[in-house]
Amino acid sequence: MVVGDEEAERRLIAALRATAGAVAADGVREDVKPINLSDMFVIDVGQSVGERKSGRRRWLPVAGAAAAVAATVAFAVVLAGSAPQHVEPGSPGQHRSPTPNVPYATTSPPTQPPGHGCGGFLCTTPLVPSGARS
């Protein structure tokens, strides 16, 4: 036979109070309280808890984010500069395929600074004669 709503409510209240009383009788574990909070947060923000509460900005995360952005931009620039550019065979801008086994082929010592005139920022591939294997 099921218990009515009011009876269930009455028994629930009694059970909750009894449970709470047992918890109180056992006491609360001491390490439930966060202790040494100043030490806990020094590593977190590089400042003591007291300094944090004065409203000073947390500079470490900002610096870290800026460094990450800068590294990402630099990496993107490197990728863009090293990507092979499509040029017509025999054009002045052609440069050899970045294949390790392809021998380096020049007919004369380079007379200008490294670079084959494609305008690539980081391109240092010397000019190769037209018709050379790319």
Partner 1 sequence: MLWSDQPGEDVECVPGSDRVSDERGFELVWEQWRLPMVQLAVMLVGAREVAEDVVQEAFTGLHRRWASVDNPPGYLRVSVINGCHSVWRRRRTAQSHVSYWDPPAGDASAPVLIAEEHREVMRALHRLPRRQREVLILKYWQDLDDGQIAAVLSISESSVRATVSRARKALGSLLKDQ
Binding segment for partner 1 (CB under 8 A), chosen from 11-19, 66-74, 92-100, 101-109, is 11-19
Closer residue to partner 1 (CB): 7 or 122: 7
Angle at 73 between CA 97 and CA 116, to 5 degrees: 30
Sign of CA dihedral 29, 31, 35, 41: negative
Neighbours of 96 (CB within 10 A): 19
Binding segment for partner 1 (CB under 8 A), chosen from 29-37, 69-77, 79-87, 112-120, is 29-37
Write down the H helix ranges in 27-124: 37-45, 49-53, 59-82
Q: Is 78 one of the binding residues for partner 1 (CB under 8 A)? A: no
Q: How far is the CB of 76 from partner 1 (least distance, A)?
A: 36
Which parts of this chain interact with partner 1 (CB under 8 A)? 1-5, 7-9, 11-20, 22-26, 28-29, 31-34, 37, 41, 49, 53, 55
